[in-house]
Chain A
Amino acid sequence: MPDLGLDVLLKGKNLARLLGGLGVAMRISMIAVVISIPLGIILGALMTWKNPVIKAILRVYLEVIRIMPQMVLLFLFYFGTTRAFGIDISGEMASIVVFTLWGTAEMSDLVRGALIAIPVHQYESAEALGFNRMQTYRYIIIPQTVRRLIPLSINLITRMIKTTSLILMIGVVEVLKVGQQIIEANRMVSPNAAFGIYLAIFMLYFFACWPISMLARYLENRWRV
């Protein structure tokens, strides 16, 4: 049997270190998710307003964040803030800021899309039945918006988790970085460690994101409108 370098995983605290690295990645993405979702909902609702100034500002924000590769945003925040403003923020902090900016932009676009997808006659039918504005939103519009939104936002969350694999570039020791360190340290004794470690990382990401994706798929089928 070829040496897959799996033994390295079980050596010392290597597996625990990898899990710790995954923990860092999850922590950053979860903090960003928890801030992005409410902010995104507010901005998304604002985008459906008639005010042209608010609309234009939000549009620019959304486009800029989307056009920039996440990597560029990370560099910009991590190195840029230090150089330009003399503020020394940690890699983890920079990552949280960038992921939050990105998550908020994406979420607001999802919310806007879900809101404008509700046909006018849904509002009118509700009104014709005697619902007032509040009741129309509470019983008719928001439940439909949420049903459209939940699977989409779950997908966004998995994208955010996966994208944390970039933050090693600004020195955050997350799971990929830990993996590289382990491979480096074992270069002499087990030259094949790379395969085993990357396989392990693959499995870790998979088991972090897969249940979330399954949930999204389940909700999508259940709430098809």
Chain B
Amino acid sequence: MKDILLKVDNIIKRFDNNTVLNGISFDVHKGEVIVVVGPSGCGKSTLLRCINALEPIQGGSITLEGETINPADKNLTALRQKVGMVFQSYDLFPHLSVLRNITIAPEKVQKRNPKEVEKEALALLERVGLRDRANSFPRELSGGQKQRVAIVRALCMNPDLLLFDEVTAALDPEMVREVLDVMLNLAASGRTMIIVTHEMQFAKAIADRVIFLDAGQIVEEGDPISFFEHPQTDRAQKFLNTFEFESVKNHEK
């Protein structure tokens, strides 16, 4: 087995008295793609936010390459640079051009050479088919284009781990594919990723391992074929059925 990159060990997350994550443990190895699925409100976003230290945890530990992630830590910026995150809402900086959105953090946070960063940013934009939009502003882009830029922005920090929180959930259907394709390419190039998604076909295609979360706990975990085709638990079966129902309707049309 390859090296462990991220270790999530028995974490507890509460908002006031509401326990949202109740003893979650899993490891992520270098180059692995983990897909997290589960009903709305089960704590998927919260899990990713804890991993990126946007939320403090009340128990357990999260370690990235042996270093503990702790929101109160002084050295948080160093850790955050190793973890890239793309959110569901289009979260580009509206006052900056596409190129500047991508280059500002490598320049200001990582203090890298601006010329070099720009070259890298343009090369990455080329890869997602947006080289010609480098000087556009976010308001001039479609939702799918914005999400591709957000992915490039995260990539340009050269993170060891990428987190995706339902990045296609707010998109018009015809734009979902272009974003998923970018993520498939990243997986093919060996990126370590944790992906939260409701696109089950995509999950099946991209995942090395699927984690099914319900009510703040890992209910089932396994390779995508076994999970999607032979779910072991009732809860997973029920969850997957909600998607089946949709696909049956589509066939009848």
- Known contacts: A124-B54, A139-B108, A225-B139. The answer to whether A130 contacts B91 by CB under 8 A is no
- A152 shortest CB reach to chain B, Å: 16
Q: Which residues of B contact A127 (CB under 8 A)?
A: 54, 80
- B9 shortest CB reach to chain A, Å: 22
Q: Which residues of A contact B157 (CB under 8 A)?
A: 129-130
| A143 close to B95 (CB less than 8 A) | yes
Alpha-carbon gap, A144 to B108, bound state (A): 18
| B87 close to A121 (CB less than 8 A) | yes
Q: In this complex, which of A125, A130, A147, A224 has the most chain B Cβ atoms within 10 angstroms of its Cβ? A: A130
- A109 shortest CB reach to chain B, Å: 22
Closest B residue, CB atoms, query A121: B91
Q: Which residues of A contact B95 (CB under 8 A)?
A: 143-144, 147, 223, 225
Alpha-carbon gap, A51 to B148, bound state (A): 40
Q: Which residues of B contact A223 (CB under 8 A)?
A: 95
Q: Please report which residues of chain B, range 134-165, place their CB below 8 angstroms from some CB of chain A when the two chains form the complex.
A: 139, 153-154, 157
The answer to the question of A181 belonging to the interface, with a C-beta cut-off of 8 Å to chain B, is no
Q: Please report which residues of chain A, range 103-134, place their CB below 8 angstroms from some CB of chain B when the two chains form the complex.
A: 119, 121-122, 124-132
- Known contacts: A135-B108, A135-B109, A139-B108. The answer to whether A128 contacts B94 by CB under 8 A is no
Q: How many residues on the B side are at the interface (Cβ–Cβ under 8 A)?
A: 26
- B103 shortest CB reach to chain A, Å: 11
- B124 shortest CB reach to chain A, Å: 15
- A147 shortest CB reach to chain B, Å: 6
The answer to the question of B179 belonging to the interface, with a C-beta cut-off of 8 Å to chain A, is no
> Could you tell me the dominant secondary structure of chain A's interface residues?
helix
Alpha-carbon gap, A127 to B154, bound state (A): 12
The answer to the question of A140 belonging to the interface, with a C-beta cut-off of 8 Å to chain B, is yes
- Known contacts: A143-B95, A147-B95, A224-B139. The answer to whether A128 contacts B54 by CB under 8 A is yes
Q: Which residues of B contact A125 (CB under 8 A)?
A: 87, 91-93
Q: Please report which residues of chain A, range 53-81, place their CB below 8 angstroms from some CB of chain B when the two chains form the complex.
A: none
Alpha-carbon gap, A125 to B147, bound state (A): 13
Alpha-carbon gap, A45 to B95, bound state (A): 21
Closest B residue, CB atoms, query A148: B95
With beta carbons under 8 angstroms apart, the residue of A128, A140, A144 that contacts B85 is A128
Closest A residue, CB atoms, query B49: A124
| B153 close to A129 (CB less than 8 A) | yes
| A130 close to B110 (CB less than 8 A) | yes
- B237 shortest CB reach to chain A, Å: 34
- Known contacts: A124-B54, A224-B139, A225-B139. The answer to whether A129 contacts B105 by CB under 8 A is yes
- B155 shortest CB reach to chain A, Å: 12
The answer to the question of B52 belonging to the interface, with a C-beta cut-off of 8 Å to chain A, is yes
| B80 close to A130 (CB less than 8 A) | yes
Q: Which residues of B contact A131 (CB under 8 A)?
A: 77, 105, 108-109
